[in-house]
Amino acid sequence: MLELPRGRRLDLSSPVVMGVLNVTPDSFSDGGRHIGIDTALAAAYRMLDEGAAIIDVGGESTRPGADPVSVAEECDRVLPLIERLCGERDCIVSIDTMKPEVMREACRAGAAIINDVNALQAPGAIEVAAAENAAICLMHMQGEPRTMQVAPVYASVVDEVGAFLGLRIAACLAQGIPASRLLIDPGFGFGKTLAHNLELLAHLPSFQSLHLPILVGMSRKGMLGQLTGRAVVDRTAAGLAAATLAVWNGASIVRTHDVAATVDAVKVADSVRRAAQAVSAPS
């Protein structure tokens, strides 16, 4: 059970899907440089109807080479959308941001989860997350978004990611944030080669020693392109295979652009996982 603000909870006894909603001018343009809010809202409602448990709203691209965005610009992109989404539907919104000011305003607009690819390392971020009573996804990244894919190096990627997440969990607990509000994520593609990503997916069960629900995001990423030779929009099948393996290996939340198909894949993988556990531990 993940504890959310305002007494709400998210049941993770079965794995769930997080749908990606990027509100950047290249995603939901109104023809100019503004966000078409009704188009973005329609995409969110569609993902909820398809079975997404969480909508992950992001106003800043973390892709290598993306332009930096100011606090004001990021707020202008995400806040109106979060307000309408939370006002019109009973849904769980996560805010994908590294900026404490955006975290605070998004939580006040209704966001329940802070999804920070920088694991609350920005000055003031952990204090905001604690004060807003938000749930938090702590993700591992080596380096910074602009340069992280240049030459990622690890002695042991599984050990180093696990040690980093352990330190960030400890920092949150020291700030008074209960473990029941925390999620962990190995950060596929964030300062990792294909070999690193495959090793993390294969060894995902080792992160269960941290005793927190695991979130994974591999949808459409470069690792799937490297494995299949396919373009970004043709990676759905590869993403379903990755999501299936992640759930088999213990993931509780799968972040994806392809919600309907991933909901089905997660159901199949979870059912087989339960059957395997029933055999190994008869009741």
Beta strands of the chain (E only): which ranges?
2-3, 9-10, 16-22, 54-58, 92-96, 113-116, 135-139, 182-185, 215-217, 253-256
Q: Are 97 and 125 in contact (CB under 8 A)?
A: no
Work out how close the CB of 275 gets to ligand 8Y4 at its nearest, in angstroms, rounded to a whole number. 28
Indicate if 255 belongs to the active site.
yes
Angle at 118 between CA 266 and CA 187, to 5 degrees: 35
Angle subtended by helix axes 100-109 and 71-88, to nearest 10: 20
Work out how close the CB of 239 gets to ligand 8Y4 at its nearest, in angstroms, rounded to a whole number. 10
Q: Is 62 in the site for ligand 8Y4 (CB under 6 A)?
A: yes
Pick from 5, 34, 2, 39: nearest CA to 18: 2
Query: Which of 23, 55, 82, 139 lies at the binding interface for ligand 8Y4 (CB under 6 A)?
Result: 139
Stretch that binds ligand 8Y4, among 43-51, 149-157, 164-172, 214-222 (CB under 6 A): 214-222
User: Which tokens belong to 50?
Assistant: 């398809």
Interface positions, 147-186, toward ligand 8Y4 (CB under 6 A): 185
CA-CA distance, 66 to 26, in Å (whole number)? 11
Q: List C-alpha distances in Å: 68 to 81, 100, 257.
A: 20, 15, 23
Under 8 Å CB-to-CB from 168, ≥6 apart: which residues? 119, 120, 121, 138
Query: Which of 137, 148, 184, 265 lies at the binding interface for ligand 8Y4 (CB under 6 A)?
Result: 137
Indicate if 146 belongs to the active site.
no
- In the beta sheet, which residues pair with residue 139? 185
Closer Cβ to ligand 8Y4, 23 or 281, answer by number: 23
Closer Cβ to ligand 8Y4, 234 or 274, answer by number: 234
Work out how close the CB of 50 gets to ligand 8Y4 at its nearest, in angstroms, rounded to a whole number. 18
Torsion of CA 161, 190, 146, 149, to 10 degrees: 100
Work out how close the CB of 189 gets to ligand 8Y4 at its nearest, in angstroms, rounded to a whole number. 6
Q: Is 58 in the site for ligand 8Y4 (CB under 6 A)?
A: yes
Q: Is 117 in the site for ligand 8Y4 (CB under 6 A)?
A: yes
Query: Which of 57, 217, 246, 270 lies at the binding interface for ligand 8Y4 (CB under 6 A)?
Result: 217
Taking CB positions, which residue lies at the least distance from ligand 8Y4? 217
Residues that bind ligand 8Y4 (CB under 6 A): 58, 62, 96, 115, 117, 137, 139, 185, 187-188, 215, 217, 220-221, 232, 255
Active site residues: 221, 255
